[in-house]
């Protein structure tokens, strides 16, 4: 069951160049969907369109199974968001900032203490927002987005500019929200490692195109497919000759001999061949294929 779905979503800020090309997002219900891409990839533009903050030019957006064009108000009533930095009144306390929104959303005043507690700011409710650290401001922004108990939370780079501790806190908060309240979370990031730690599903966008979409597991499978084979032997030049005879291009590196990606049965056959030809094999492993290199592979192969 999908919480959010787009098809053929396109956008151009000027006639000259489209910044989004046929984006088809599929965000499963109760998932944490990491929307990953380098700066300028089109993440913020996409999220703004999903929130109706910009006029959609082409394509369709469906949230909670309803079309955003025709059910905008009722959909957005169940969506919380934080795009760029939170808009806070610095001279007001955390609780006062939320009280303004609490009246707009018409939720009980008791909800303020609840969300402050939820984001770990229970002890700072009477502190001025201006005196908050960046991480605390970000958490207050998330508290504001949570006031009306949204079923879907859309966050644009919520850990941007935070120190490692702040990043860990936000991650823990989002994970807890997802687990304990079933909130679907769509969160953008330019950091692969962060998405890997947080998300259950991933969409990778580059230059306005969705290069990959699937579960974190699927992304990891892609990683295994992209990993080169690292070979350690007692005699590399002998091994290179055997490999060349087998039609395998290899080269030496600090990680030993590096061979192109190949399926496991081929690795086993190669090992047999090396041993039969008198090469002593010390180790066979995988090199590269971390998420960063997957990302580069996808960009290289599909965005050219
Ligand atoms: N208001 C605007 N007017 C014109 N071009 C824009 C505008 N906003 C964004 N762009 C361009 O659209 C492209 C996508 O930008 P967008 O902000 O959506 O990317 P992003 O992935 O969110 O990157 P970042 O993390 O740097 O914000 C970029 O080339 C950007 O320069």
Residue range 59-80, pLDDT digits in tens: 999 999 999 999 999 999 999 9
Domain of residue 248 covers 228-287
222: in domain:
no
So what's the pLDDT on residue 301?
63
93: in domain:
yes
Residues 65 and 195 in one domain: yes
So what's the pLDDT on residue 302?
59
Q: Which atom of ligand 1 is nearest to the CA of 205?
A: 21
d(CA 254, CA 246): 23
Residues 236 and 203 in one domain: no
Residues 113 and 171 in one domain: yes
Residues 68 and 209 in one domain: yes
pTM of the model: 0.82
Residues 9 and 69 in one domain: yes
Residues 211 and 240 in one domain: no
221: in domain:
no
ipTM, two decimals, is 0.95
Does the beta carbon of 19 sit less than 6 angstroms from any atom of ligand 1?
yes
Residues 283 and 199 in one domain: no
Say which CATH number the domain at 232 has.
Answer: 3.30.70
The tally of domains found in the chain comes to 2
Does the beta carbon of 41 sit less than 6 angstroms from any atom of ligand 1?
yes
| Residues of the chain under the 50 pLDDT cut | 303-304
Residues 206 and 259 in one domain: no
């Amino acid at each position: 069951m999908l919480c959010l779905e787009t098809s053929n979503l396109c956008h151009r800020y000027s006639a000259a160049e489209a910044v989004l090309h046929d984006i088809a997002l599929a965000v499963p219900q109760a998932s944490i969907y990491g929307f990953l891409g380098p700066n300028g990839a089109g993440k913020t533009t996409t999220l703004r369109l999903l929130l109706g903050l910009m006029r959609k030019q082409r394509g369709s957006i469906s949230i909670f199974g309803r079309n955003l064009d025709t059910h905008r108000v009722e959909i957005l009533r169940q969506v919380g968001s934080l795009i760029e930095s939170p808009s806070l009144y610095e001279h007001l306390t955390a609780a006062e900032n939320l009280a303004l929104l609490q009246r707009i959303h018409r939720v009980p005043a008791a909800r303020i203490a609840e969300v402050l507690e939820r984001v770990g700011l229970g002890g700072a409710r009477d502190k001025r927002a201006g005196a908050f650290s960046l991480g605390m401001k970000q958490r207050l922004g998330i508290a504001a987005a949570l006031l009306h108990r949204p079923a879907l939370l859309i966050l644009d780079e919520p850990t941007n500019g935070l120190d490692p501790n702040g990043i860990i806190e936000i991650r823990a908060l989002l994970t807890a929200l997802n687990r304990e309240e079933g909130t679907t979370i769509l969160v953008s990031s330019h950091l692969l490692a962060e998405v890997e730690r947080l998300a259950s599903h991933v969409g990778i966008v580059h230059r306005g195109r969705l290069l990959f979409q699937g579960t974190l597991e699927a992304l990891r499978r892609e990683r295994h497919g992209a990993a080169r084979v690292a070979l350690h032997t007692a005699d590399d030049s002998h091994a290179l000759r055997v490999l060349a005879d087998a039609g395998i291009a290899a080269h030496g590196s600090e990680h030993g001999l590096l061979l192109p990606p190949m399926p496991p049965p081929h690795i086993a056959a190669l090992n047999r061949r090396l041993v039969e030809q008198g090469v002593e094999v010390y180790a066979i492993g995988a090199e590269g294929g971390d998420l960063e290199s997957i990302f580069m592979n996808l960009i290289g192969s599909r965005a050219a």
